[in-house]
Amino acid sequence: MAKFDAVVIGSGLGGLCSAFIMAKEGMSVCVLEKNRQFGGSLQIFSRDKAIFDTGVHYLGGLDEGQNLNRYFKYFGLMDKLRLQKLDLDGYDHISFEGHPKIYKHAQGYENFIDVLAQDFPHQRKQLEIYVKTINDICASFPLYNLGSGLKDFNDDWYRTTSVKDYVENLFTDPLLAKIIGANNMLYCGNELTPFFIHAVVVNSYMQSAYRCIDGSSQIAKLMVDGIKSMGGVVLNYHEVSGFNTSGDEITSVQMTDGKTIESKWVISGIDFKKLIQIIGPTHFRKAYRNRIQNLENTPGLFLMSAVFKPNTVKRMNNNVYHYVNDNVWDSAKHTEQDWPRGFGAFPTYTSKNPDYTENIVLMAYMHYHEVEKWKDTVSTVPKNINSRGQDYEAFKLERSNRLLKIIEKRMPEVTSNIQSFTNATPLTYRDYIGSTDGTSYGFAKDFRLPMSSFFTSRTKIKNLLITGQDLNLHGVLGVTISAVATCSEIFGHPYLINKIKEAS
Ligand SMILES: Cc1cc2nc3c(=O)[nH]c(=O)nc-3n(C[C@H](O)[C@H](O)[C@H](O)COP(=O)(O)OP(=O)(O)OC[C@H]3O[C@@H](n4cnc5c(N)ncnc54)[C@H](O)[C@@H]3O)c2cc1C
């Protein structure tokens, strides 16, 4: 095969954005994806004629002039994506067991303040401070707002302050503090999560919140089409298993079938721990390898993807975060007995039946150790039914029933109308995303060790760059920004930012 200017490993959004940028800048690129479907967490699947998202249920910052909108214009996506805006006055509905009221996170800064201030008039001033602070933090991240120049964040207080401490100190009403933190499943927030992670994630949804109509895989498809239209090569069923090197450079990438592809640059968009394992011991010191392997990952998730009986559940244009216990920051600290401590519910939007919700994704935290006894089994995606054995099926069913019991109290219209469902566990994600433990968002962040899970895209191997959710930030916005940071290493930061600004 021809020699490429750049080979990108993994077709997750970070890999695709990197490939797109390089192709647009005239480089010959080749994306290697191990799965049949491109997109990593943008993949969809269908059951019972319903389409389900696997890893992107809503997107923020897509209104005109907002950050993801501007990035997506550069990638040629904005005029092609089919999007549904979530409810302006409540894209996320927050509730607590035994407490009948539903609280809402609304879109637009003023609206966000106004809607919560209706329930908490005595906290309006604090809400204003909170929203301004979130804005200030986001403004200080140059790539977040397509600014120029990179800043060293080592000393910034929002890295070394936990979001839990911040909101609990600011809001004198503890219920409002909980409500502010209640959609923390978006970033696997816990008492150690630095405040800025909360800020950059929730800010974009607070600006605007959208769902993809008929699934988020359209983003991957459009990106692949864009890369191909510029001469790029995008290959599925190509799993990278090793590298050939000369000195401190990779000369070629090796696949599981023994084939190799030569390249000047190699961009890795896969799980960083997995990459270190693939590279092997030669190029990185043992201490460095151990440091990476010992970094804590965010927990995995248990997903129940449920299809409703036809025309039974009216269109739901919001998500739901519901808590069984009082502490919104310790949901992932469940024991086997008290699982789940809450859930997230993400109705999907299908074009063929806009008046009704056809299906929904229900989620609760699940750790790898809860499914580790099946670690040596492999899912035979897409027909993964029974492939890990009857005891695994029984485990999933038992967990589904427990989840449904909790959901029934909050959303009886959901539980009474389910026609069929299928589950995913951290093992599912381990196998199809290729992570070590089915983590949902890669490395966990800790305000006590703010720099421990932050990397530059450069590695000790001169022509190997990393991108994707393990580089700084997860999520659609996070990995889009990561790709720009990665490609800035090749093209220069101001140059690339100007190109993106020109296109948007
Ligand atoms: C359940 C869940 C819900 C989420 N919900 C949202 C949401 O609503 N909004 C949002 O913005 N974000 C959400 N996220 C996060 C978001 O989906 C991810 O952070 C983001 O898509 C990760 O992109 P990535 O570029 O890191 O690549 P990934 O999506 O991690 O993809 C990596 C790709 O590399 C491939 N690969 C792995 N190993 C190899 C190999 N050896 N050779 C070749 N290919 C390989 C994989 O098959 C995969 O395609 C969610 C994530 C999960 C898990």
Q: How far is CA 444 from CA 40, 105, 441, 448, 452, in A?
A: 19, 25, 8, 12, 10
Q: Is the CB of 240 under 6 A from ligand 1?
A: yes
Place of tokens 């008039």: 121
* pLDDT attached to residue 32: 98
Residue 438 structure tokens = 């089915």
Q: Which amino acid residue places its CA nearest to atom 10 of ligand 1?
A: 475
The CB density around residue 345, as the number of other CB atoms within 10 Å, is 22
pLDDT one-digit tens code per residue, 70-129: 999 999 999 999 999 999 999 999 999 999 999 999 999 999 999 999 999 999 999 999
* pLDDT attached to residue 382: 53
Residue type, 125: K
Residues contacting residue 489 through CB under 8 Å, at least 6 positions apart: 457, 458, 465
Residue 93 CA to residue 409 CA, distance in Å, equals 15
Residue 416 structure tokens = 């009474």
Which of these, 147, 55, 44, 27, lies nearest to 469 by C-alpha position?
Answer: 55
Q: Is the CB of 440 under 6 A from ligand 1?
A: yes
- 418-424 and 464-466: which strand pairing? unpaired
If one residue of 184, 218, 270 were mutated to test the ligand 1 pocket, choosing by the most ligand atoms within 8 A of its CB, it would be: 270
Which of these, 495, 455, 447, lies nearest to 473 by C-alpha position?
Answer: 455
If one residue of 35, 56, 237, 297 were mutated to test the ligand 1 pocket, choosing by the most ligand atoms within 8 A of its CB, it would be: 56
Q: Is the CB of 471 under 6 A from ligand 1?
A: no
Residue 282 structure tokens = 């030669």
Give the number of the atom of ligand 1 that is nearest the alpha carbon of residue 35: 47
* pLDDT attached to residue 472: 84
Give the number of the atom of ligand 1 that is nearest the alpha carbon of residue 58: 8
Q: Is the CB of 32 under 6 A from ligand 1?
A: yes
Do the Cβ atoms of 213 and 83 come closer than 8 Å? yes
Count H helices and E strands in the chain, helices first: 16, 19
DSSP string over 67-115: HHHHHHHHTT-TTT--EEEPPTT-SEEEEETTEEEEEEE-SSHHHHHHH
Whether the predicted model's global pTM rises above the 0.95 cut:
yes
Q: How many angstroms separate the alpha carbon of residue 440 from the centre of ligand 1?
A: 8
Do the Cβ atoms of 396 and 402 come closer than 8 Å? no
Residues contacting residue 198 through CB under 8 Å, at least 6 positions apart: 163, 166, 181, 184, 187, 189
Q: What is the CB-side half-sphere exposure of residue 453 using CA atoms within 13 A? A: 27
Q: Is the CB of 35 under 6 A from ligand 1?
A: yes
Place of tokens 């799993």: 239
Residues contacting residue 427 through CB under 8 Å, at least 6 positions apart: 368, 371, 374, 375, 377, 379, 388, 438
Q: Is the CB of 438 under 6 A from ligand 1?
A: no
Q: How many angstroms separate the alpha carbon of residue 290 from the centre of ligand 1?
A: 23
Q: How many angstroms separate the alpha carbon of residue 350 from the centre of ligand 1?
A: 22
* pLDDT attached to residue 152: 47
Q: Is the CB of 300 under 6 A from ligand 1?
A: no
Q: How many angstroms separate the alpha carbon of residue 258 from the centre of ligand 1?
A: 26
Residues contacting residue 476 through CB under 8 Å, at least 6 positions apart: 13, 56, 59, 68, 219
Place of tokens 């879109």: 107
State the architecture of 4-42+61-75+214-295+448-503 in CATH terms: 3-Layer(bba) Sandwich (3.50)
Q: How many angstroms separate the alpha carbon of residue 436 from the centre of ligand 1?
A: 13
Give the number of the atom of ligand 1 that is nearest the alpha carbon of residue 274: 38
Q: What is the CA radius of gyration of the chain?
A: 22
Q: Is the CB of 475 under 6 A from ligand 1?
A: yes
Q: How many angstroms separate the alpha carbon of residue 124 from the centre of ligand 1?
A: 37
Residue 16 CA to residue 22 CA, distance in Å, equals 10
Domain with CATH 3.50.50.60 in the chain: 4-42+61-75+214-295+448-503
Per-residue pLDDT 10s for the chain (504 aa) are 579 999 999 999 999 999 999 999 999 999 999 999 999 999 999 999 899 999 999 999 999 999 999 999 999 999 999 999 999 999 999 999 999 999 999 999 999 999 999 999 999 999 999 999 999 999 888 888 887 444 544 458 999 999 999 999 999 999 999 999 999 999 999 999 999 999 999 999 999 999 999 999 999 999 999 999 999 999 999 999 999 999 999 999 999 999 999 999 999 999 999 999 999 888 888 998 999 999 999 999 999 999 999 999 999 999 999 999 889 999 999 999 999 999 999 999 988 888 999 999 999 999 999 999 999 998 765 555 567 999 999 999 999 999 999 999 999 999 999 999 999 999 999 999 999 999 999 999 999 998 887 889 999 999 999 999 999 899 999 999 999 999 999 999 999 999 999 998
